[in-house]
A = this chain, B = another copy of it.
Amino acid sequence: MRASNARKKVSLDPADRRKQILRAAIDVFAERGFHKTRISDIAKRAKVAYGLIYHYFDSKEHVLASVFEENWAVFVKVLKDISVDGHKGSAEKLGAVSDLLIGALRHEPALIQVIIQEISRSDRIGLAGKVDAFEEAFKIVRAIIHEGQKKGELARDLDAQVGTYLFFGALETVCTGFMLKKFTVKNEAEAEALKKSVRRALLDGMRERP
């Protein structure tokens, strides 16, 4: 009664097709933000019919949630590994976290952008529980800070909670600036320089040391 028509696309492996859609979603979310991207934008980018997205995902929200779920766990895992690494001091650990984020940013800028910009604000989107999952990363960093303060490696006159926010906030905006091409990283050397710059600022501040 209803449909009819047009050139069908060759069927891919479902898992690949799913990835393809997720990839497109990440890119478009990063570019336009969750609210402004239409399902049809994702479809267009993925070069599939918009209806197909509903084969793989329940809703637009679910697409975003999947982006998060299928990437966040990996990140948190590495974060955890860093946090329990016996060979590193607390400052070193924070540096490693910073490096990790900036490294990820270089390889998956859009993904990091989406996770940071959209999921962390997902209370406004209606992704219950996602903010909590986000909280995990905060906890780990907070724990590193706490530990460092106890050991005397990190400044005691800094509230750990505030410190955690500062830490992530600083990194987040670097992400944003990076996405907006306010500064670029053209090669490995520049990437290392950026990492060092950020580490330096976070750990030792902007003031020149005597």
Contacts and interface: CB of A to CB of B under 8 A. Distances in A.
Contacts of A171: 169
Contact of A166 (B152, B154, B170): B170
A139 to B, nearest CB: 12
Contacts of A163: 197, 201, 206
A177 B174 CA distance: 18
Given A35-B35, A121-B33, A124-B32, A200 B1 contact: no
A23 B100 CA distance: 41
A204 B201 contact: no
Contact of A205 (B33, B161, B183, B202): B202
A177 B208 CA distance: 29
B124 A198 contact: no
Contacts of A148: 206, 208
A209 interface: yes
A60 interface: yes
A203 B200 contact: no
Contacts of A196: 157
Interface of A: 1, 32-33, 35-36, 59-61, 91, 94, 117, 120-121, 123-126, 145, 148-149, 152-159, 161-163, 165-174, 176-177, 180, 182-183, 193-194, 196-198, 200-209
